[in-house]
Amino acid sequence: MDKSSIHGMWSSRLAFILAATGSAVGLGNIWRFPYMASDNGGGAFVLIYLSCILFAGLPILMAEILLGRNGRTSPVNALTQAAEQSGRSRFWTLPGWMGMVAGVLILSFYSVVAGWTLYYAWLYVLQLFGGAPIADPGATFGALLGDAGLLTFWHAIFMIMTVVVVAFGVEKGLERAVKFLMPALLAMLLVLLGYGATTGNLGQAASFLFVPDFSAISGEVYLRAMGQAFFSLSLGMCAMMTYGAYLPKGISVGRVGLIVALSDTGVALLAGMAIFPIVIQFAIEPSGGGPGMIFTALPLAFDQMGAIFGLVFFALLAVAAWTSSISLLEPTTAFLVERTRLSRKTAAIGMAALTWVVGLVSVLSFNHWSHIRPFGLDLMTLIERIANDLMLPLGGLLIAIFAGWRLSGRISREELADLPDWLYRTWLWVVRVVAPVAVTFVFWQALRPIVRQLMGG
Ligand code: TRP
């Protein structure tokens, strides 16, 4: 008989798909993907990004979900169980521990950026009630970043929103929040795409995003693209493993994994196609957009479309961030509930408070601490790079090796029971060889210039 998790279970296949897609689709797709593509050479970046999704993202996503479902517990405990069942060492719980650290780091800056979207939604509310329009988006964005108090306030609001959902638990909190709002976000992106089409710049946007300029590829571009792939799919820190723990048996891991990966990638590409025509229209360079890209370009379009569009867009983006942030807080909360005597509520509030404090580093990195630049990076970017570009792919690599080489084949075969033999064997081969080679290759590409520099060559 199927055992269920003490944290609750998804009520249906659709509920899981919505929750996992809700986790995957977020700021990563709409805020980060466009400016990553913009900063890293457009088409070449996108091509590497898509390869990372296919060769590492999808197979590791399946591995995370199946490991979670096999254990029915938070990542560290699920990995402990899987290692014991397979007669392997405790070493393989490492991705679970590392994932909790990565989760805190990622949520810390994620919440700050989500706070920007809340603030922008608020600006459009004010505008609808007669407030001043955003006349100079660059100045508005600059003023926000310069104001540590304002940033801290909206960061706190977003963290409270996140903790409320997690405190209510799987069925009551997580599921309800995602059911209506994801389709609404998709509709809003299509409206923006329609607007983009009226500018006549769709073709130019498409060629920037999809025609690769191979001379733009460097070790750094490889690393950024892979980090973005893991970040966008919520992979490498066991968030999907946690969601998998609440997935009823009998639902196909392969199929839901594929649906989540396709929707996430689709939304990122759609967001890119919606945003670049607007960027081009207002004579902003498509390359070098930086983290402020959507906050400085889109208000120019909303100025013509009407403030209500600005409100709906930024409100929905905040919701998309919300359905993602809960998956960053859930793994540690579930872990604390299993390992300590804390209630779900106390555990969630404690972790959120800790993460909120860590987020103050990102808040200050734009103003009082903007002069602190280790390795030439501001502190928020540094945290992002360490978590997204290093910890996530490393976690993913360990999960792939464990699932492919160490986990008892009986477990993975049973969890993927619906797959025909050839597909199961393809998956196994990909997590054993292709994904680890891909991740190692990217790390090597990124490391090479550094090694060369150290060798003085
Ligand atoms: N994938 C989300 C986004 O694209 C962010 C996110 C949620 C995430 N959970 C995660 C990233 C776990 C890494 C790991 O916005």
Query: How sure is the predictor about 362, in pLDDT bands with cuts at 50, 70 and 90?
Result: very high
CA 286 to chain centre: 23
Best substitution site from 65, 100, 294, 328 to test ligand 1's pocket, by max atoms within 8 Å of Cβ?
A: 328
CA of 107 to the centre of ligand 1 (A): 9
Task: Pick the closest to residue 143 from 316, 282, 33, 292 (CA basis).
Answer: 292
Token pair for residue 344?
A: 């779900």
CA distances (Å), 358 to each of 29, 40, 144, 321, 329, in order? 24, 28, 19, 18, 14
Chain centre distance of CA 52: 14
The predicted model gives 392-409 an average pLDDT of 98
Q: Which atom of ligand 1 lies nearest, measured to the CA of 325?
A: 7
Q: What is the pLDDT of residues 112-131, one digit of tens each?
A: 999 999 999 999 999 999 99
421 CA distance to ligand 1 centroid (A)? Answer: 32
1 band by pLDDT with thresholds 50, 70 and 90: low
Strands (E) located in 89-242: none
Q: Domain 13-454 - what CATH class?
A: mainly alpha
Q: What would the mean pLDDT of 156-178 be, rounded to a whole number?
A: 82
Nearest to 358 by CA among 328, 330, 394: 328
Instruction: Give the residue-averaged pLDDT of 61-69.
Output: 98
Query: Does the structure show a pLDDT above 60 at 96?
Result: yes
Measured by CA distance, the residue closest to atom 14 of ligand 1 is 234
Handedness of CA 414, 416, 419, 422 (dihedral sign): negative
What number does the ligand 1 atom closest to the CA of 387 have?
Answer: 13
CB 166 within 8 A of CB 333: yes
Instruction: Write down the pLDDT at residue 184.
Output: 83
pLDDT at 103: 97
Cβ–ligand 1 distance for 445 under 6 Å, the answer no
Kindly state the average pLDDT of the residues 163-179: 76
Q: Taking residues 379-400, what's their average pLDDT?
A: 97
Per domain, the residue ranges of the chain are 13-454
Are 265 and 27 in contact by the 8 Å Cβ rule? The answer is no
Instruction: Give the C-alpha separation, 155 to 344, whole Å.
Output: 22
The per-residue pLDDT for 174 is 63
pLDDT tens-digit profile of 213-268?
999 899 999 999 999 999 999 999 999 999 999 999 999 999 999 999 999 999 99
- CB neighbours (10 Å) of residue 87? 8
368 pLDDT tier (thresholds 50, 70, 90): very high
Closest CA to 119 of 137, 95, 98: 137
Its pTM stands at: 0.95
In the structure, what pLDDT confidence band is assigned to residue 109 with cuts at 50, 70 and 90? very high
| Residue whose structure tokens are 């509030």 | 349
Name the residue of 226, 232, 235, 326 whose CB sits within 8 Å of the most ligand 1 atoms, as the mutation to test its pocket. 232
Q: List Cβ neighbours of 384 (8 Å cut-off, separation of 6 or more).
A: 109
Residue 173: the pLDDT is: 62
Helix-helix angle 307-339:344-365, to 10 degrees? 130
pLDDT band at 178 (very low <50, low <70, confident <90, very high): confident
Predicted confidence (pLDDT) per residue in 403-413, tens digit: 999 999 999 99
User: Is the predicted pLDDT of residue 457 greater than 60, yes or no?
Assistant: no
Q: Region 434-456: what's the mean pLDDT? A: 90
Q: What is the pLDDT of residue 170?
A: 64
The 3-state secondary structure of 249-280 reads CCCCHHHHHHHHHHHHHHHHHHHHHHHHHHHH
Token pair, residue 5, equals: 């998790």
Q: Are 328 and 110 in contact (CB under 8 A)?
A: yes
Spatial separation of the C-alpha atoms in residues 92 and 82, rounded to whole Å: 9
Calculate how far, in angstroms, residue 348's C-alpha sits from the geometric centre of ligand 1.
Answer: 18
The per-residue DSSP string of 307-320 comes to HHHHHHHHHHHHHH
Cα(352)–Cα(348) distance, integer angstroms: 6
Residue position matching structure tokens 């004010």: 126
- Asked whether the beta carbons of 45 and 221 are under 8 A apart, the reply is yes
Which residues in 95-116 are b (16+ Cβ under 10 Å) and which e?
bbebbbebbbbbbbbbbbbbbb
N- to C-terminal Cα separation, the chain: 62
Contact 245, 5 (CB under 8 A): yes
Does ligand 1 lie within 6 Å of residue 356's CB atom? no
**pLDDT value at residue 287:** 79
Report pLDDT for 181.
76
Residue 275 pLDDT > 60 = yes
Ligand 1 site-directed mutation target among 110, 243, 263, 329, most atoms within 8 Å of CB: 110
Q: For residue 204, is it left (φ>0), alpha (ψ between -120 and 50) or beta? A: alpha
pLDDT at 361: 98
Return the SS3 of 430. helix
Which residues in 142-160 are b (16+ Cβ under 10 Å) and which e? eebbeeeebbbebbebbbe
Q: Name the 3-class secondary structure at 128.
A: helix
| For ligand 1, mutation pick of 231, 385, 386 (most atoms within 8 Å of CB) | 231
Atom of ligand 1 nearest to the CA of 320: 15
Place 177 in a pLDDT band, splitting at 50, 70 and 90: low
CA 281 to chain centre: 28
Instruction: Please tell me the distance from the alpha carbon of residue 36 to that of residue 209, in angstroms, as a whole number.
Output: 11
Q: Give, using CA atoms, the residue closest to atom 8 of ligand 1.
A: 234
The whole-number pLDDT of residue 455 equals: 84
* pLDDT band per the 50, 70, 90 thresholds, residue 284: confident
Mean pLDDT (the chain, rounded) = 94
Taking the centre of ligand 1 as the mean of its atom positions, its distance from the CA of residue 456, in whole angstroms, is 38
